[in-house]
Amino acid sequence: KNEVEQSPQNLTAQEGEFITINCSYSVGISALHWLQQHPGGGIVSLFMLSSGKKKHGRLIATINIQEKHSSLHITASHPRDSAVYICAPEGTDKLIFGTGTRLQVFP
Amino acid sequence: DTGVSQDPRHKITKRGQNVTFRCDPISEHNRLYWYRQTLGQGPEFLTYFQNEAQLEKSRLLSDRFSAERPKGSFSTLEIQRTEQGDSAMYLCASSLRASWEGSSYNEQFFGPGTRLTVL
């Protein structure tokens, strides 16, 4: 069993839809990171959280440490949100990456 | 641009050749990480440095791989006797590892990556 499981693996949406990506992990962590990777490889850090909820613009990330689960939500999705979203729990000073969720938002 | 930079961005080499990649982190960052990513997969941890000290190496890092961060600034990753299975994107990230009121902060900033193709 993988240490990090993301669902769904692929997601398509119409512009304006509310998006949820889920992440479950089995390791003990100090924090959990959500990353965005665009075609061509560039990775951008979206959130780093260790409890509760964080919000940046249309993006919201939540984490439940007891249940070892985190979610990333995108409100009012837009075609420019199309990317791979990667959940990465932080173990002992290093990140353990999920395989990512490929999101495509159509106009 | 004061972000993380990597050089070269692309490298094509023949099997058996040696290659070296360079990463320049954000200047005040004390941590530097190397990751490898193959097509359709998430990145995998290779190794990381705190200043000039290499603190951990993954089991993925065979003895053909070596990494250095000689002055605690830029880092190099060398692959000797490359194999076709080494073909991947090699990503570098840096962070300013800090602790505050019992919590740790380690937000990582990624470079654009070096794409290696071994023929």
The per-residue pLDDT for range B24-65, each reduced to its tens digit, is 999 989 999 999 999 888 899 999 999 999 999 998 788 999
pLDDT at A30: 84
State the residue for tokens 């669902």: A7
pLDDT attached to residue A102 = 95
pLDDT band at A22 (very low <50, low <70, confident <90, very high): very high
The predicted structure's pLDDT at residue B19: 98
pLDDT for B99 equals 63
- State the amino acid at position A56 in one-letter form: H
pLDDT of residue B103 exceeding 80? no
Q: pLDDT digit string (tens) for A73-105?
A: 999 999 999 999 999 998 877 889 988 999 999
Q: Are A76 and A58 in contact (CB under 8 A)?
A: yes
Q: Do strands A101-106 and A10-14 pair parallel, antiparallel, or not at all (unpaired)?
A: parallel
Collect all residues of chain B within an 8 Å Cβ-Cβ radius of residue A96. Answer: 45
Residue A8 preceded by cis peptide, ω within 30: yes
pLDDT reported for residue B1? 55
Chain A residue with CA closest to B96: the answer is: A93
Q: Which residue of B has its CA nearest to A43?
A: B110
CB contact under 8 A, B107 and A42: no
